[in-house]
Structure 1
Amino acid sequence: MGEVRKLQKKLRQIENLEIRVSLTPEERVKVSKKAELRSRLAELLLQLSGPQQTQCIVGEEEDKMKRQVEEAAEHHTEHQTQTPAQKIPRKDEQKKEDRTESSGQTHTIPHTPSPPDPDAEFRSLRSSWEKAKFRLRVLEGHSDIITCVAAVENLVISGSRDTTVKVWHVPTATEQRNLGGHSGGVTCLCVPPAEYCRRVASALCLGEKERLVLSGSTDCCVRIWTLSSGQCVKSIYTFNTVTSLSFIAEGEGYIATGSGGGKLQVWDWLSQENRQSVNAHLDAVTALQSQGPLVVSGSADGGVSVWEVRDGRAEPLRRLQQWGSEVTGCGGGEEVGGGLRLSARGDRVFLACGRASVRVLDWRTGTVSRLTNHSSSAGVTDCVNQIPGVLIGSSFDLSSGESSLNLFAVPQCKYLVSLTSSELPRILCFAAWLTPSGGHRWVTGGRSLIVWEQLQGNVKKRGDVTVRRDSRLDNKLTESDSEEEEEEQSDDEEEDSIPQDASDSEEAANSSWLRCVLQ
């Protein structure tokens, strides 16, 4: 296992190197070894899984043979011990029916309804996703990594490390607007609800139906753009590198920003004045999500905080709960993606931190479960998101370079299907919405910006996406315990003890920068 972990770490470093703006000659040599390392890792994983798979198959065959022998023995015993006395109840029942018929009365034996099948709804949902078809369209225009995506009706908004925000018209797959103005990479996007857009539009004498989008950047600015014209109508200088962004739809509305240094700031929506600044985390705030009167923040150090929104107070946010990496199990600075992503609903927060599993945190109690999102330790989870009734997690295989989206039914957290396509790049960000007809539209970003459009069920055309099931992901929601956490920490320590070359040292030195540019 030591060589496997070493190869996985090297591949993680190469993945991080590949998303840099420029590489040194030494780094280019290191990147050129990716195929060789990937092939060796796949070979080792096959060797390690081979004996286990064989043992499993043999065990299953032995159990099957035992069951066959036992069933045959039971059948033989029943055949030998069967006597006419065993048929008496049937004769008695026939005599009762005869007496009932002769008396001219008819009695109907009441039918006891079978209990409802709790898995029927899940099987129906799984069946519908197994038949799903998607058309994929690549939107070309960005010259660097796409770090964040959002959607409004028929429009997709994307932010990139190339410093631009682009607006795309989905039905025609064309670029509609190029919002240039940031001097640093764009790290996060947010679209306020329509009613809050109208309030600002009215104050700025804009159109009544104007929609606005917010963007955050490494240039320490949050910009407010109009989608119709691409005009920047407001700019907020935060004095901190902006790594995450969320709109709080409470009261008059607030903008929440997270910084590369762990600071959480709150801004008034109408006046754009700073209302609150608090040192929320020890490292970059890589995730922010508003959920009604609550705000959930996540950090590159693996910590998660839940905040209560108190509209009208001098400081709108009050921390309700805080859990560190020792609880979430999301610590470790060199995981692929460089930060923590989250998707919250109710009391549960789903966490993606560059590992093979999704962590499920009950933020009230601090209870953490693990949802298997990959069939091997070479898997990486970069982002999670939710649509009604379904959790979607990205999955990237370091050994093969294969990327997919895994779907789970919520709240049961039961595996549904996996969606993939040939040459699908690693997915770093995700957004979803429904079409007027009820179909799904998704957009994923990373090295490519791709729109996923669900085809109607009666369309005979083959989709661009392969739907498959991996039985190794079934029933894999398990409770975390201290032993598992200690084992992961020891693995990380063993990886850290591996000697590093000069390029590895440079990688560590730039880890905070990587966390920033990847959101």
Structure 2
Amino acid sequence: MGEVRKLQKKLRQIENLEIKISHSLTPEERVKISRKAELRTRLADLLLQLCGPQQTLEIVGEGKQGKMKRQVHSDATSEPHPLHSPSATKIPKIPKGQTEQTAQQEKTTSLKETSREKGSKDEAERQVKAGNGGKESEPRPARINTSPEEDQDAEFTSLKASWEKAKFRLRSLEGHSDIITCVVAVDNLVISGSRDTTIKVWHVPTATEQRNLGGHTGGVTCLAVPPSEYCRRLACDLSLGEKEWFILSGSADCCVKIWALSTGQCVKSVYTFNAVTALCFVPEGHGYIITGSDGGKVQAWSWQTMENCQSINAHEEAVTSLQAQGPLVFSASAEGGVSVWEGLCSDRQPLRLLHHWDAAVTGCAGQGGRLTLSPRGDRLFVAYGTSSLRILNWRTGTVFRLANHSSIAGVTDCVHQTEGLLIGSCYDLANGESMLNLFSLPRCRYLTSLTCADTPRILSFAAWLTGSGGHRWVTGGRDLTVWEQLPSSGKQRGDITAKRDCRLDVTPMESEGLTGDEDSDDYSDDDGVDEEDHTSQNAAETGLSSWLRCVLQESEVIEGVGTE
């Protein structure tokens, strides 16, 4: 297991190096990247050995054989499960102290009573028939009482069957010259932010670029869309149409900008004095923009005036995710901590801390990943760069772990909710396969996995429904890709494969007092680790996650080139 983890660590380092701009790679880094195929082969072989011959899983996708077959090889004998045991005639037991003769008498008496009941029932039916003029009465449909659990199971079975037949058409949106770090959707438009410092607006039905929003001097790290009522207020103040939409963007150049989508113009901008790594909008009072920085600071800004209302040293390391749910704000940081804030509608102190859970509770210590959040009621879904998702009850601090990959070589970069679905991205370090795992809400039951052979690692995700009710998603990373759901009844072939992995059919497991788990990629012993591991260790000392570090560092490179 130790060698497996070291190989995982090296492959993660290579993935982070590949995110860097090619011209900034050193010769040593290029050599490390050249070993990727070799390390993947070694890791795949070791994982196969760890699985062993005891259990073989065959997962089949679409078509007539679209079912999962499972074979278990074991020398040990096991009793049949009571739900799957063959039917048999039940032999009644004679109670202790009762003779066989007495039992036979009771049995005869019971048969007589049954016969009398049957005779009474037949007589009642004859009377009903006579009352209907000799006609047979129509049989009444049997009334079936089902429990809420049975109804939910039936609904889940139907939903699972429909997603097993899912078809999606994939389309690439080409125009960015670097990693796509963030995506949002408005109507039929997709807005993408990239490390190349630009923000692009795409018309999805035609897959064309509508606008290129240039103005940041550093990589764009985050985007947000204010609610429509706040857009209307600002549009009125700026004498723009009442249907105007605005987009918020944050960048490593320490700026937050507000863009009008109809014109592509930057209507407001503020310098935050810190590289902006996350932002969200709080629809309370006149509205607030909440930003997170690379140093762990959380700040609140007035939507109307862009004045700073509050600055809080909230986290020890970079803020990697900010999400709003009504008046609540959830922040996560690279050190593994999660904080919950309440919006107070006050111009002096808009935010008040409700809860803070450190890495010892969340179990995200030392992961080296970029924590992303998706809130739902009392629960927070947390993706943190490993093979599982965390489900945190932010009121009690209870944590559950939800399997998002069947192998410890899986990496989860983002998590999203849409129309009763929980969607987690997954990237396999061993074979380079990228997929989306679908779970039903609210019980987080596994539905299916969607994958395409050519899909690169997914770093950002957005979703919405079309006018016909179909799903439309967009994923960002090395490429910007639109996933368009096709009618399941049509003859068109989709570009994706839907398959189920029975190893994900598990109930979320409760985990208490975690300081890390089998997914951890941070090791104290350096025995057997060559010098390429020390590069990653030095990078970790900056207090930034490796992915975020690449975004900020390369943004500085671009900014420096532009100013020379």
Q: Please give the TM-score of this superposition, normalised by the length of structure 1.
A: 0.91
Give the share of equivalent positions with the same residue, in percent. 60
Quickly say closer, same or farther: Cα 1:476–1:250, change in 2 above 3 A: same
Between 269-278 and 63-72, report the one with greater CA deviation. Answer: 63-72
Partner of 2:31: 29
Which has more helix, going by share of residues?
A: 1
Q: Verify: 1:183 aligned to 2:217, yes or no.
A: yes
Q: CA deviation at 1:101?
A: 5.5
Partner of 2:49: 47
Q: Verify: 1:63 aligned to 2:87, yes or no.
A: no
> Residues 87-131 of structure 1: CA distance to partner in whole angstroms, max 9, x if unpaired?
767655544445445667789999552323231121122222222
Quickly say closer, same or farther: Cα 1:67–1:265, change in 2 above 3 A: closer
Q: Verify: 1:456 aligned to 2:458, yes or no.
A: no
Counterparts of 1:84-95 in structure 2 under 5 Å?
91-95=115-119
The question of whether the paired residues in 2 share the 8 Å contact of 1:6 and 1:498 is answered with no
> Residues 490-519 of structure 1: CA distance to partner in whole angstroms, max 9, x if unpaired?
x65646524554543333333436424559
> Residues 3-57 of structure 1: CA distance to partner in whole angstroms, max 9, x if unpaired?
1111111111111111011311111111111111111111111111024416981
User: Distance in 1 between the 2:299 and 2:84 partners?
Assistant: 69
Partner of 1:515: 548
Between 412-421 and 47-56, report the one with greater CA deviation. Answer: 47-56
Partner of 1:271: 305
Partner of 1:132: 166
User: Distance in 1 between the 2:163 and 2:315 partners?
Assistant: 39
User: Distance in 2 between the 1:104 and 1:147 partners?
Assistant: 75
The question of whether the paired residues in 1 share the 8 Å contact of 2:457 and 2:477 is answered with yes
Q: CA deviation at 1:234?
A: 1.3
Q: Verify: 1:440 aligned to 2:471, yes or no.
A: yes
Counterparts of 1:200-279 in structure 2 under 5 Å?
200-279=234-313
Gaps of 5+ in 2: 58-70, 93-99, 131-136, 553-564
Quickly say closer, same or farther: Cα 1:61–1:234, change in 2 above 3 A: same
Q: Please give the TM-score of this superposition, normalised by the length of structure 2.
A: 0.84
- Equivalent residue letter for 2:419: P
Quickly say closer, same or farther: Cα 1:333–1:400, change in 2 above 3 A: same
Partner of 2:366: 332
User: Distance in 2 between the 1:257 and 1:70 partners?
Assistant: 59
Gaps of 5+ in 1: none
- Equivalent residue letter for 2:381: F
User: Distance in 2 between the 1:135 and 1:180 partners?
Assistant: 30
Quickly say closer, same or farther: Cα 1:176–1:479, change in 2 above 3 A: same
Quickly say closer, same or farther: Cα 1:516–1:291, change in 2 above 3 A: farther
User: Distance in 1 between the 2:380 and 2:82 partners?
Assistant: 43
Counterparts of 1:79-158 in structure 2 under 5 Å?
91-100=115-124, 111=142, 113-116=144-147, 117=150, 118-158=152-192
Quickly say closer, same or farther: Cα 1:49–1:224, change in 2 above 3 A: same
Partner of 1:15: 15
Quickly say closer, same or farther: Cα 1:445–1:104, change in 2 above 3 A: closer
Q: CA deviation at 1:188?
A: 0.4
Q: CA deviation at 1:202?
A: 2.0
User: Rg bigger for which structure?
Assistant: 2
User: Distance in 1 between the 2:113 and 2:85 partners?
Assistant: 28
User: Distance in 1 between the 2:29 and 2:125 partners?
Assistant: 92
User: Distance in 2 between the 1:312 and 1:197 partners?
Assistant: 20
Q: CA deviation at 1:420?
A: 0.8
- Equivalent residue letter for 2:247: V
Partner of 1:467: 498
Partner of 2:314: 280
Q: CA deviation at 1:66?
A: 8.9
User: Distance in 1 between the 2:5 and 2:516 partners?
Assistant: 16
Partner of 2:452: 421
User: Distance in 1 between the 2:278 and 2:84 partners?
Assistant: 62
Quickly say closer, same or farther: Cα 1:318–1:104, change in 2 above 3 A: closer
Quickly say closer, same or farther: Cα 1:214–1:486, change in 2 above 3 A: closer
The question of whether the paired residues in 2 share the 8 Å contact of 1:185 and 1:517 is answered with no
Q: CA deviation at 1:481?
A: 3.2
User: Distance in 2 between the 1:92 and 1:60 partners?
Assistant: 55
* Corresponding residue to 2:393 among 351, 362, 371: 362
- Equivalent residue letter for 1:515: L
User: Distance in 2 between the 1:204 and 1:130 partners?
Assistant: 49
The question of whether the paired residues in 2 share the 8 Å contact of 1:187 and 1:517 is answered with no
Counterparts of 1:468-507 in structure 2 under 5 Å?
468-482=499-513, 485=515, 488=518, 492=521, 494=523, 497-498=526-527, 500-507=529-536
The question of whether the paired residues in 2 share the 8 Å contact of 1:6 and 1:495 is answered with no
The question of whether the paired residues in 1 share the 8 Å contact of 2:280 and 2:290 is answered with yes
Q: CA deviation at 1:277?
A: 0.3
User: Distance in 1 between the 2:83 and 2:240 partners?
Assistant: 77
Partner of 2:560: none
Partner of 1:163: 197
**Length, aligned pairs only:** 511
User: Distance in 1 between the 2:474 and 2:404 partners?
Assistant: 20
- Equivalent residue letter for 1:42: A
Quickly say closer, same or farther: Cα 1:112–1:461, change in 2 above 3 A: closer
> Secondary structure, in 3 states, of the residue corresponding to 1:9?
helix
User: Distance in 1 between the 2:443 and 2:345 partners?
Assistant: 34
> Residues 394-432 of structure 1: CA distance to partner in whole angstroms, max 9, x if unpaired?
011111111110111111111111111111111010011
User: Distance in 2 between the 1:509 and 1:408 partners?
Assistant: 37
Q: CA deviation at 1:67?
A: 7.7
Quickly say closer, same or farther: Cα 1:100–1:272, change in 2 above 3 A: closer
Quickly say closer, same or farther: Cα 1:233–1:58, change in 2 above 3 A: same
User: Distance in 2 between the 1:70 and 1:210 partners?
Assistant: 64
Q: CA deviation at 1:464?
A: 1.1
